[in-house]
């Protein structure tokens, strides 16, 4: 039997291989038949390692090759890039250039993955060096490489470099346009992203989803919902990614009806089989105040990952269901799912809401000792809140001062709020001094301190705070509220009369006030008559 025939037989076996143990057995036969130096079989095995997620075995396979060709190099670089081993991909590319033979010169399939690794490392200088190799090995007219260059430049924050490549292309496709939109969106330049989006000759689902995600990340939630609606008007059906992108906007705006519609749509399209979609829906329901719906969906999920558990724990904690959140955490451990840092933020928050300060301190230690997770500023913030709520203000202050990182305004504000609850002026002044440095224009902090003085009957302190507000010309942030009517979210801001129906709203409110006044008057009359 000839070598080519043997190789083809092994290719058939590799095509049906589904486990790393099976691959190792096939590899052993390949070595036994002295075919271990076959670049053809090595490339097939490397691709299989990529699909199975066994990067270490792929490395061993490649290292046994004495004269790897371009296909073997491409396979190992592709494997490293797919599994975010970007530094190894770049190292392998350098090796390819250093030991380059005629059969191992980079080709049009090499450079896109190398550029993707440059983008993954966010290393612009390295990407520019690879760009030089693109010009050398080219041709530059290859669309896949050009798109990889645009993606690299945008991810590294060099929009001008991306435009230079874009404008030099013979023909821009949807991938090119989408990369530009994504680059502007990543930098928060949604106005420019919108202009590029409007200029696109042909929009894809990726184009719409990029805009939705960009608006949501920029905090422009109403705009994200509007783009989502426009997408459906033009006949573009939402997919898994677009659904996941728009649900956070629903959560932030409290657009429950839109969220419910997405839930029904996802069920109809079979998207509820996707754990990521269910996770986004659970978070949406929890943030919209529907913790029961979140709980039901959580229990109906086919598979739960760490995000699922963490989202449910955090949702229960935010709804004041501390004991339930802790029970879910214990169930998570029984299910064999290892918690992460986000999980413990939810657990510590649950302990704070339930007043379980002792348990909170224990979980803080469990995180470090049992799971080797280094506490971040969010965890210290929860711990300070936990101790402050329970009245252990001196311990909370001590924790704040001994943090391994600089406390932010949220932590000092949490401590200040606890001082009001427990009427501790001494620590309140310390917290306020820090807040004056961190956010001197935030009116809420001044009001909070003035309230503490007032509740303690220290009117001179109240007067001093008010003088400070006037001297610094602090303007109070106007109150606002959101309401969803007919699947549209309306925001009302105190003192804003710009809405076309404002006068109608004021007229109805005045009528309700008069109605309530009459009812109160009738109740007083009845009480007096009864007396």
- CA gap 432, 429 in Å, rounded: 5
If asked whether residues 236 and 309 sit together in one domain, one would say no
Shared domain for 309 and 294, answered yes or no, is no
Whether 395 and 475 map to the same domain: the answer is yes
Query: Same domain, yes or no, for 384 and 475?
Result: yes
Within 64-172, residue ranges assigned H as helices are 70-82, 86-98, 111-121, 124-137, 143-155, 159-168
Final residue in a domain of this structure, among 459, 480, 501: 480
- Would you state the structure tokens that stand for residue 471, as one six-digit string? 């001297």
SS3 label, residue 179: helix
Q: What is d(CA 438, CA 71) in angstroms, rounded to the nearest whole number?
A: 56
CATH number of the domain to which 397 belongs: 1.25.40.10
CB atoms under 10 Å from CB of 311, counted, come to 27
First to last CA, the chain: 113
Q: In degrees, to the nearest 5, what angle opens at C-alpha 338 toward C-alphas 333 and 339?
A: 90
Residue after which a domain boundary falls, among 252, 283, 300 = 300
* Lookup result for tokens 């105190």: 494
Q: What is the predicted pLDDT for the residue at 140?
A: 47
C-alpha 246/C-alpha 223 separation (Å) is: 10
Residues 346, 396: one domain? no
- State the Cα torsion 453-459-462-467 to the nearest 10°: -160
- Residue 460 shares a structural domain with residue 394: yes
471 and 380 inside one domain: yes
Instruction: Give start and end residues of each alpha helix (H) in 156-290.
Output: 159-168, 174-186, 190-199, 205-217, 221-233, 240-253, 256-268, 275-287
Which of these, 124, 230, 298, lies nearest to 238 by C-alpha position? Answer: 230
Q: What share of the chain is helix, strand, coil (3-state, %, to 5)?
A: 75, 0, 25
pLDDT value of residue 531: 46
Is 344 a domain residue?
A: yes
Question: Distance between CA atoms of 276 and 264, rounded to whole angstroms?
Answer: 16
Cα gap 245→228, rounded to integer Å: 9
Q: Is 242 inside a domain boundary?
A: yes
Radius of gyration, alpha carbons of the chain: 30
Contact 350, 316 (CB under 8 A): yes
Give the whole-angstrom CA distance, residue 243 versus residue 486. Answer: 20
Q: Are residues 330 and 352 in the same domain?
A: yes
Shared domain for 308 and 292, answered yes or no, is: no
Q: Is 189 within the bounds of a domain?
A: no
Whether residue 315 contacts residue 282, with contact meaning beta carbons closer than 8 Å, is answered with: yes
Residue labelled with tokens 């379980």:
356
Integer CA distances (angstroms), 443 to 22, 99, 207, 456, 494, in order: 66, 65, 40, 21, 15
Is residue 394 assigned to a domain?
yes
* Euclidean distance between CA atoms 283 and 308, whole angstroms: 9
- Which residues are registered as beta bridge partners of 490? 483
The answer to the question of residue 133 being in a domain is no
The count of other CB atoms within 10 Å of the CB of residue 345 is 21
CATH label of the domain that carries residue 236: 1.25.40
Residue 281 lies in a domain: yes
Q: How far apart are CA 315 and CA 447, in angstroms?
A: 29
With CA atoms as reference, report the closest residue to 77 among 29, 117, 44, 122.
117
d(CA 327, CA 522): 50
Among 424, 433, 495, residue whose Cα is nearest residue 458: 424
Chain centroid to CA 163: 27
Q: Identify whether 182 is part of a domain.
A: no
Q: Look at residue 493 and give its three-state secondary structure.
A: strand
CA distance 147 to 131: 12
Boundary residue ending a domain (275, 300, 325): 300
CA dihedral 336, 340, 343, 348 (to 10 degrees): 110
Domain that holds residue 389: 376-480
Contact 106, 137 (CB under 8 A): yes
Tell me, yes or no, whether 163 lies in a domain: no
State the Cα–Cα distance between residues 119 and 183, nearest whole angstrom: 12
- pLDDT tens string for the chain (531 positions)? 566 777 788 888 888 888 999 999 999 989 988 898 999 999 999 999 999 999 999 999 999 999 999 999 999 999 999 999 999 999 999 999 887 666 778 888 899 999 999 999 999 999 999 999 888 776 545 788 999 999 999 999 999 999 999 998 888 999 999 999 999 999 899 999 999 999 999 999 999 999 999 999 999 999 999 999 999 999 999 999 999 999 999 999 999 999 999 999 999 999 999 999 999 999 999 999 999 999 999 999 999 999 999 999 999 999 999 999 999 999 999 999 999 999 999 999 999 988 888 999 999 999 999 999 999 999 999 999 999 999 999 999 999 999 999 999 999 989 988 988 888 888 988 888 888 888 877 777 777 778 787 877 878 777 877 877 777 666 655 555 656 555 555 566 555 666 666 667 667 777 777 766 666 655 554 455 554
Q: Which two tokens stand for residue 515?
A: 């109605």
pLDDT at site 399: 94
Q: Are residues 435 and 457 in the same domain?
A: yes
269 and 208 belong to one structural domain: yes
Supply the DSSP string of 18-86, one letter for each residue. -SHHHHHHHHHHHHHTT-TT-HHHHHHHHHHHHHHT-HHHHHHHHHT-SS--HHHHHHHHHHHHHTT-H
Domain count, the chain: 3
Beta strands of 310-361 (E only): which ranges?
none
The backbone torsions φ and ψ at residue 473, rounded to the nearest 5 degrees and listed phi first, read 55, 45
Cα separation, 332 vs 5, in Å, equals 52
């Amino acid at each position: 039997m000839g070598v080519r025939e043997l190789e083809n037989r092994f290719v058939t076996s590799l095509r049906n291989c589904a486990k790393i143990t099976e691959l190792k057995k096939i590899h052993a036969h390949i070595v036994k038949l002295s075919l271990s130096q076959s670049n053809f079989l090595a490339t097939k095995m490397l691709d299989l390692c990529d699909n199975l997620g066994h990067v270490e075995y792929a490395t061993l396979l490649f290292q046994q090759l004495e004269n790897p060709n371009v296909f073997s190099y491409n396979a190992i670089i592709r494997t490293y890039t797919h599994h975010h081993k970007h530094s190894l991909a770049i190292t392998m590319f350098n090796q390819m250039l250093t030991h380059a033979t005629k059969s191992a010169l980079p080709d049009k399939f090499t450079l896109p993955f190398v550029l993707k690794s440059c983008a993954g490392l966010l290393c612009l200088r390295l990407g520019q060096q690879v760009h030089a190799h693109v010009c050398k090995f080219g041709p530059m007219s290859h669309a896949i490489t050009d798109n990889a260059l645009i993606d690299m430049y945008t991810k590294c924050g060099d929009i001008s470099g991306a435009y230079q490549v874009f404008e030099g292309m013979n023909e821009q496709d949807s991938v090119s346009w989408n990369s530009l939109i994504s680059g502007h969106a990543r930098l928060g330049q949604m106005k420019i992203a919108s202009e590029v989006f409007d200029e696109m000759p042909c929009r894809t689902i990726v184009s719409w989803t990029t805009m939705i995600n960009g608006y949501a990340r920029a905090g422009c939630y109403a705009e994200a919902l509007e783009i989502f609606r426009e997408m459906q008007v033009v006949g573009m059906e939402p997919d898994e990614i677009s659904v996941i992108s728009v649900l956070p906007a629903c959560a932030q705006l409290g657009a429950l009806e839109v969220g419910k519609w997405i839930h029904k749509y996802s069920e109809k399209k079979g998207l509820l089989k996707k754990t990521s979609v269910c996770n986004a829906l659970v978070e949406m329901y929890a943030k919209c105040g529907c913790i029961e719906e979140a709980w039901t969906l959580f229990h109906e999920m086919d598979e739960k990952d760490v995000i699922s558990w963490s989202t449910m724990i955090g949702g229960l904690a935010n709804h004041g269901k501390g004991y339930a959140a802790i029970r879910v955490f214990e169930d998570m451990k029984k299910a064999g799912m290892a918690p992460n840092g986000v999980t413990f933020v939810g657990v510590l928050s649950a302990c704070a809401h339930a007043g379980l300060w002792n348990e909170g301190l224990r979980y803080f230690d469990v995180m470090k000792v049992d799971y080797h997770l280094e506490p971040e500023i969010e965890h210290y913030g929860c711990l300070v809140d936990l101790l402050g709520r329970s009245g252990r203000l001196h311990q909370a202050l001590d924790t704040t001062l001994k943090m391994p990182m600089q406390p932010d305004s949220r932590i000092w504000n949490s401590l200040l709020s606890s001082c009001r609850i427990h009427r501790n002026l001494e620590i309140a002044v310390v917290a306020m001094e820090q807040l004056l440095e961190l956010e001197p224009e935030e009116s809420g902090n001044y009001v909070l301190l003035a309230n503490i003085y007032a509740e303690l009957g220290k009117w001179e302190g109240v007067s001093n705070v008010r003088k400070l507000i006037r001297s610094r010309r602090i303007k109070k942030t106007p109150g606002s509220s959101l309401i969803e009517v007919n699947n549209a979210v309306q925001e009302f801001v105190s003192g804003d009369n710009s809405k076309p129906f404002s006068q109608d709203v004021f007229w109805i409110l005045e009528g309700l006030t008069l109605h309530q006044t009459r009812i109160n008057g009738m109740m007083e009359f009845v009480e007096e008559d009864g007396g």
